[in-house]
């Protein structure tokens, strides 16, 4: 509005203009605070409960009257006393039986020329440990097959070479499993693995590594499909979506999406889709009939309303985030909301510690959590009615978000198998953003599908305490002869039951043994 228009404006129009300007200014300030928080502030939403009966850090501490060791005065500084040689085991070092230990015996110069058993006797040993590392190493397996001539017939004979996981390839199964684990568990891109091979003196084309990964994952695709079917057959499934740059369009990388799904048997899968639209939910979940746990994205709600058999449960952690964002503007109200939600999580923590299941868990939630949930929503309604908060106020937005999703947020009170949030899923999908920071994008959409399939199996291995390398070495050799009708036995969850006690090893491991 220009000066002339301002001069002709009425008092009511000017008041409306001032209010609109104030609202806009508040929105801009909120955005500025959010950007500052993202750049300079902590990202964690975790809150530490303060117990007034406990001392704070540094409170009640008494300064020592004099140091225990003043050290040795040296010119312009005080030299620290030299540490004594370590003679006992480092109490901070912990390792299990799978870690190789190399024994190094230190010779005593005082015993030079003396004979053991005559001039001295070994009474005992003092042991200390140091953690060492050697660079990643590669080996070339030279497979020797003698050619012999039979004396009786004069015929030449030679044994067949051991079969390769990838026909026509010189990549051993140990290399394939190691590449997959390095790339998808430890986020080491193939070009870095290629550099490491070169540094070790091995010349392999960069394209060969990509081809090996695609061919190896293609062998595992039926196992991935069996695991996704196992997730769909469960009663409770958590679902989310996370972006990934995959495929090219007009010279630019397109944005696709992984749709991670987490089943009630501790299995996770990462299907890939080109968009974030609702039809992909129907395609991924198929004939799923149970409880879907998700955040507040409306596509999940629309999917659930189209199927009467689907119960839609919502995530309290996503609800909580709105009140965390409101702390700067409405600190008192936001803190009160966060404290009420924290009480619900405290009850869930105690339920987990007491290992309550089924009816016992449902009873605990009904007796303790249900009154808190009812009081929480009643309090939000009173705050919105009794106080004239602007619609743009972050607390107003957080309160409306919670009230509009009240039905979904209460589902966990009536079903003991439904979690209070989707944090378990978000923990499981962390490898995707972690890998995205390292390999940045997938050159093709097919490549993104490959990433989702192998990441599904490796992440599920981690959930079931299965070593991904051991698992991959076994199933890559076993999948070719395993009955297709029993392919579900090769999923990490069932593989642990059927094959983990005696897995198939690579030639490298058997040769070393």
pLDDT, one tens digit per residue, over 410-454 is 999 999 999 999 999 999 999 998 888 777 777 777 888 999 999
Helix (H, G, I), strand (E, B) or coil at 262: strand
238 against 137, higher pLDDT: 238
Q: Average model confidence (pLDDT) for the chain?
A: 86
Nearest to 456 by CA among 235, 211, 256, 284: 284
CB 186 within 8 A of CB 430: no
**Measured between alpha carbons, how far is 398 from 423 in angstroms, rounded to an integer?**
19
Once rounded to an integer, what is the mean pLDDT over residues 265-273? 96
**Domain map of the chain by residue range?**
173-233+466-512, 317-420
User: What pLDDT was estimated at residue 258?
Assistant: 94
User: What pLDDT was estimated at residue 45?
Assistant: 64
User: What pLDDT was estimated at residue 238?
Assistant: 97
Percent above pLDDT 90 for the chain: 57
User: What pLDDT was estimated at residue 70?
Assistant: 55
Maximum distance among all Cα pairs of the chain, rounded to whole angstroms: 120
Split at pLDDT 50, 70, 90, the class of 80 is low
Dihedral sign of CA atoms 277, 280, 281, 282 in order: positive
Residue 208: C-alpha distances to residues 17, 214, 218 (Å): 65, 10, 15
Q: What is the DSSP letter of 242?
A: E
How large is the angle between the packed helices 468-478 and 445-463, nearest 10 degrees?
120
| Weakest mean pLDDT among 53-67, 200-214, 322-336, 426-440 | 53-67
Q: What is the DSSP letter of 120?
A: B
User: What pLDDT was estimated at residue 29?
Assistant: 73
User: What pLDDT was estimated at residue 66?
Assistant: 53
Q: How many CB atoms lie within 10 A of CB 512?
A: 9
Split at pLDDT 50, 70, 90, the class of 110 is confident
Percent above pLDDT 70 for the chain: 86
Residue linked to tokens 């070393």? 512
Q: What is the DSSP letter of 116?
A: B
Residue linked to tokens 């053991």? 116
CB 372 within 8 A of CB 344: yes
Which tens digit of pLDDT belongs to each residue from 350-403? 999 999 999 999 999 999 999 999 999 999 999 998 887 888 899 999 999 999
| Weakest mean pLDDT among 74-88, 322-336, 367-381 | 74-88
Which tens digit of pLDDT belongs to each residue from 300-310? 999 999 988 89
Classify strands 252-258 and 272-273 as parallel, antiparallel or unpaired.
antiparallel
User: What pLDDT was estimated at residue 59?
Assistant: 44
235 against 80, higher pLDDT: 235
List Cβ neighbours of 157 (8 Å cut-off, separation of 6 or more).
147, 148, 150
User: What pLDDT was estimated at residue 365?
Assistant: 96
b/e map of 422-446 (b: 16 or more CB within 10 Å)?
beebbebbebbeebbeebebbeebe
Nearest to 454 by CA among 164, 219, 193, 175: 219
Which tens digit of pLDDT belongs to each residue from 10-31? 677 777 777 777 777 777 776 7
User: What pLDDT was estimated at residue 78?
Assistant: 59
**H-helix or E-strand spanning residue 156:** strand 156-157
Residue 91 has pLDDT above 70, yes or no: no
User: What pLDDT was estimated at residue 467?
Assistant: 96
9 against 449, higher pLDDT: 449
497 backbone dihedrals φ, ψ, rounded to 5°: -75, -40
Residue 87 has pLDDT above 50, yes or no: no
User: What pLDDT was estimated at residue 86?
Assistant: 46
| Weakest mean pLDDT among 181-190, 237-246, 436-445 | 436-445
Chain centroid to Cα 465, Å, comes to 14
**Measured between alpha carbons, how far is 383 from 79 in angstroms, rounded to an integer?**
63
Q: Which residues pair with 248 in a beta bridge?
A: 253
């Amino acid at each position: 509005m220009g000066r002339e228009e301002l001069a002709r404006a009425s008092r009511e129009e000017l008041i409306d203009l001032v209010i609109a300007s104030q609202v806009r200014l508040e929105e801009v300030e909120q955005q500025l605070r959010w950007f500052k928080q993202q750049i300079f502030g902590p990202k964690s939403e975790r809150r530490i409960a303060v117990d007034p009966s406990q001392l704070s850090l540094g409170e009640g501490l008494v300064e020592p009257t004099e140091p225990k060791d003043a050290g040795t005065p040296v010119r312009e500084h005080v030299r620290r006393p030299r540490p004594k040689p370590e003679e006992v085991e480092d109490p901070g070092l912990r390792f299990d039986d799978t870690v190789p230990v190399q024994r190094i015996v230190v010779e005593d110069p005082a015993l030079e020329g003396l004979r053991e058993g005559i001039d001295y006797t070994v009474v005992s040993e003092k042991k200390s440990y140091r953690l060492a590392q050697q660079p990643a190493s590669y080996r070339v397996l030279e497979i020797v097959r003698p050619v012999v001539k039979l004396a009786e017939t004069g015929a030449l004979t030679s044994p067949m070479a051991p079969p390769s996981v990838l026909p026509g390839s010189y990549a051993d199964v140990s290399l394939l499993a190691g590449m997959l684990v390095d790339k998808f568990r430890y986020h080491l891109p193939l070009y870095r693995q290629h550099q490491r091979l070169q540094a070790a003196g091995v010349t392999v084309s960069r394209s060969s590594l990509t081809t090996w990964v695609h061919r190896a994952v293609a062998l595992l695709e039926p196992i991935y499909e069996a695991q996704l079917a196992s997730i769909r057959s469960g009663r409770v499934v958590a679902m989310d979506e996370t972006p990934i740059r995959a495929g090219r369009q007009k010279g630019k990388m397109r944005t696709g999406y992984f749709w991670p799904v987490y089943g009630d048997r501790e299995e996770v899968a990462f299907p890939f889709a080109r968009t974030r639209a609702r039809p992909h939910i129907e395609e991924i979940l198929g004939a799923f009939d149970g409880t879907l746990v998700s955040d507040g994205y409306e596509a999940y709600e629309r999917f659930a309303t189209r199927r009467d058999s689907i119960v839609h449960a919502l995530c309290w952690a996503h609800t909580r985030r709105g009140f965390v964002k409101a702390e700067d503007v409405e600190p008192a109200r936001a803190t009160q909301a966060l404290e009420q939600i924290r009480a619900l999580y405290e009850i869930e923590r105690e339920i987990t510690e007491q290992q309550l299941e089924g009816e016992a868990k449902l009873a605990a939630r009904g007796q303790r959590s249900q009154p808190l949930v009812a009081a929480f929503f009643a309090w939000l309604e009173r705050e919105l009615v009794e106080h004239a908060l602007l619609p743009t106020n972050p607390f107003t937005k957080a309160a409306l978000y919670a009230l509009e999703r009240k039905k979904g947020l209460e589902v966990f009170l009536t079903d003991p198998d439904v979690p209070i949030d989707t944090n378990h899923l978000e923990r499981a999908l962390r490898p995707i953003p972690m890998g995205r920071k390292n390999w940045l994008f997938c050159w093709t959409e097919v490549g993104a599908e490959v990433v989702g399939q192998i990441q599904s199996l490796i992440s599920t291995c981690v959930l079931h305490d299965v070593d991904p390398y051991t698992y991959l070495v076994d199933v890559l050799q076993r999948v070719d002869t395993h009955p297709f009708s029993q392919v579900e036995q090769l999923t990490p969850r069932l593989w642990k039951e059927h094959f983990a006690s005696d897995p198939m090893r690579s030639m490298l491991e058997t040769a070393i043994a």
